[in-house]
């Protein structure tokens, strides 16, 4: 397992676990990122933050700090 922020552009991975607690975890789950969901890294900003991902048929920008809390395989 690795965190989402380490996945190369263009690769599709599956969410295995969401770290964190309380509002942070709830916000990530409310965006549609839940266990077992496939996620594709679309692109990154020039300085690496934020990441643009494709999840459940839509594009989503997520901060690198939040991507570190999402474990994938």
pLDDT in tens, 2-44: 999 999 999 999 999 999 888 989 998 998 899 999 999 999 9
47 pLDDT above the threshold of 90: no
Q: Phi and psi at residue 47, in whole multiples of 5°?
A: -95, 5
As a whole number, mean pLDDT of residues 48-73 equals: 92
Residues facing 38 on adjacent strands: 14
Cβ atoms 15, 39 nearer than 8 A:
yes
Return the CATH class of domain 2-72.
mainly beta
48 pLDDT above the threshold of 90: no
Query: Helix count (H) and strand count (E) of the chain?
Result: 2, 6
Domain spans of the chain? 2-72
Whole-angstrom distance, CA of residue 64 vs CA of residue 12? 17
């Amino acid at each position: 397992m690795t965190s989402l922020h380490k996945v190369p552009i263009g690769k599709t991975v599956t969410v295995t676990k969401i770290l964190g607690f309380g509002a942070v975890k709830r916000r990530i789950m409310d965006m549609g990122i839940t266990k077992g969901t496939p996620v594709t890294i679309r692109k990154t900003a020039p300085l690496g933050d934020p990441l643009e991902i494709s999840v459940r048929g839509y594009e989503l920008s997520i901060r690198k700090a939040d991507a570190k809390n999402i474990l994938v395989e």
